[in-house]
Structure 1
Amino acid sequence: MSLNKIELLNVRKSFALGKGVVRDVVGDVSFRAAPGEFVSVIGPSGCGKSTVFNIMAGLEPPSSGHVIVDGRDRTGDCTPFAYMPQKDLLFPWRSILDNTALGLELAGMKRKDAREKARELFAAFGLAGFEDNLPFELSGGMRQRAAFLRTVVLGREILLLDEPFGALDSLTRIEMQNWLQGVWAEHAWTAVMITHDIHEAIFLSDRVVVLGARPTRVRLDLKVDLPRPRTLAMTASKEFALLEEQLLEALHDESRKALTANALSAA
């Protein structure tokens, strides 16, 4: 049995721009997540993080390379993953319960059974009593919890989180980070998250992968060796600051490379 839950092996992606011009977006990306591990992916703007994520989720084919899940090649297969985008994408005319049951219904489950399965998670997600509310009646944090519930109720073992808290204010974001840490630990999901927030990446993750400037490659795979559960007080520690410094240095170096490359291509 593979020691990795998911592994990207030598993934590359190029786009044809016409007139024989090819743009390499993903150069050669390999990284992995062990069962129950939380891995964050950061990188300079425009480096290809979302492209890597879409390839991982089976939403976009790689030009070459493989996505391995539990030791099997699952390239192009979206079924092992539960995917949560940045926006909650809740339908405004459906109740919170109906929104969270939607994925199960689309997967073929009867509406009554889907609603009951989703309802079982409402207390654990801090949504008990809001089953019949419409999305506009909930706070931003509660809507994100509802979106997260809709994601995990499908029963997939790998969560792909695309900046799930990026649209929230800072205080709500901190609350959601604490909440996510708790439910992740309780359910032992394997999680891979894209984020622009270095602080968030350290706080939540077992490892942080830094992607380089386009065509992107893995420039740093940093282990976050901090005890769990993480606390807000821990973020003021020397150990946390050292990790933050290493990631900032790597990220700033790649951002400078990206700016230089963009300037040269525009010249």
Structure 2
Amino acid sequence: MHESKLQLDDLHKAFPGPLPVLDGVAFDVAPGEFVSVIGPSGCGKSTLFNVIAGLERPDAGRVVVDGEDATGRVDPFAYMPQRDLLFPWRTVLDNTTLGLEVAGVPRRVARDRARALFAPFGLAGFETARPHELSGGMRQRAALLRTVVQDRAVLLLDEPFGALDSLTRTDMQTWLEEVRARFGWTVLLITHDIREAVFLSDRVVVLGPRPTRVRQEVAVDLPRPRGVELITSVRFAELEAALLAALRGDSHGDSRA
């Protein structure tokens, strides 16, 4: 059994108000594993990500990366928020180097590192373009490139395709499946889309209502690589149904669905 790349150890977090947000959230993510987190609206998914990423301190519990306490640290994580947040006055290349530059990497070195990823990310030829010249899917690719070029231990993706139309979203999910397999990233994804969670993940963590805890973990035993034809399979439908039942609180702990 592999040592966990990321371990969430009994995380608690409360803000002023009637209910705490996190009430002992605990699960692991193995090296190279793709794990999605789903849960009811308002249950605390974004708060959980902020705690993992070091943007909020937990009231109790720990975030552990590669066996070391990383609670409150930002350096082990590359965080991609829902919006692409590309600066309109910078070229696409200079947008993708921003995280490296903030970390103190010389601009020329940062550009060389980012430029090497433009072809596998489907952005070759757009290095000098401005964000407004890109499609929505290409903007998200640029935002993800900016995230992964930082070469952090864990990628945190917060609804990265939520603002895209259905067809573009499906295309981006297929593309992410391909590049993730190529680069072997360790990924934790927040999504409201059960189908997206099944298609992309090795495992799905289902959170309960606020104050949230892990309600269930469902292993996604679908073969890789995954293409869109898999969505119509019987097993895919079974996994979707199991996750929907877990969200509703109808499931009783069968982690294999």
After TM superposition, the score normalised by the length of structure 2 is 0.95
Distance in 1 separating the partners of 2:238 and 2:23: 29
Distance in 2 separating the partners of 1:232 and 1:126: 19
Instruction: Indicate conservation of the 8 Å contact 1:220/1:250, yes or no.
Output: yes
Structure 1 position 108 matched with structure 2 position 104: yes
Structure 1 position 224 matched with structure 2 position 225: no
**Per-residue deviation at 1:113?**
1.7
In the other structure, the counterpart of 1:137 is: 133
Instruction: Indicate conservation of the 8 Å contact 1:2/1:71, yes or no.
Output: no
Instruction: Indicate conservation of the 8 Å contact 2:2/2:31, yes or no.
Output: no
Where does the alignment leave 5 or more consecutive residues of structure 1 unmatched?
A: 255-267
- The aligned runs of 1:120-135 (5 Å cut-off) are 120-135=116-131
Q: Which letter does structure 1 place at the counterpart of 2:160? A: P
1:69 aligned to which of 41, 65, 69: 65
**Per-residue deviation at 1:2?**
6.5
SS of the residue corresponding to residue 21 of structure 2 reads strand
In the other structure, the counterpart of 1:180 is: 176
SS of the residue corresponding to residue 149 of structure 1 reads helix
Instruction: Indicate conservation of the 8 Å contact 1:127/1:146, yes or no.
Output: yes
SS of the residue corresponding to residue 52 of structure 1 reads helix
Distance in 2 separating the partners of 1:109 and 1:240: 43
Alpha-carbon deviations, 1:30-87, whole Å to 9, x = none? 0110000000000000000111111111110001001011111111111001100111
1:49 aligned to which of 38, 45, 57: 45
In the other structure, the counterpart of 1:203 is: 199
Distance in 2 separating the partners of 1:2 and 1:108: 33
Alpha-carbon deviations, 1:5-29, whole Å to 9, x = none? 0010110111134xxxx63111111
1:37 aligned to which of 26, 33, 46: 33
Where does the alignment leave 5 or more consecutive residues of structure 2 unmatched?
A: 251-257
In the other structure, the counterpart of 1:8 is: 8
SS of the residue corresponding to residue 132 of structure 2 reads helix
Alpha-carbon deviations, 1:139-158, whole Å to 9, x = none? 00000000000001111121
In the other structure, the counterpart of 2:229 is: 233
**Per-residue deviation at 1:253?**
3.2
In the other structure, the counterpart of 1:149 is: 145
Instruction: Indicate conservation of the 8 Å contact 1:2/1:70, yes or no.
Output: no
Instruction: Indicate conservation of the 8 Å contact 2:91/2:131, yes or no.
Output: yes
Instruction: Indicate conservation of the 8 Å contact 2:2/2:30, yes or no.
Output: no
Instruction: Indicate conservation of the 8 Å contact 1:39/1:207, yes or no.
Output: yes
In the other structure, the counterpart of 1:97 is: 93
SS of the residue corresponding to residue 217 of structure 2 reads strand
Q: Which letter does structure 2 place at the counterpart of 1:111? A: R
Alpha-carbon deviations, 1:228-256, whole Å to 9, x = none? 011111111111111100101111338xx
Structure 1 position 246 matched with structure 2 position 242: yes
Instruction: Tell me the C-alpha RMSD between the 2 structures.
Output: 1.3
Instruction: Indicate conservation of the 8 Å contact 2:10/2:24, yes or no.
Output: yes
Instruction: Indicate conservation of the 8 Å contact 2:19/2:210, yes or no.
Output: no
More strand by share: 1
Instruction: Indicate conservation of the 8 Å contact 2:35/2:189, yes or no.
Output: yes
Structure 1 position 171 matched with structure 2 position 167: yes
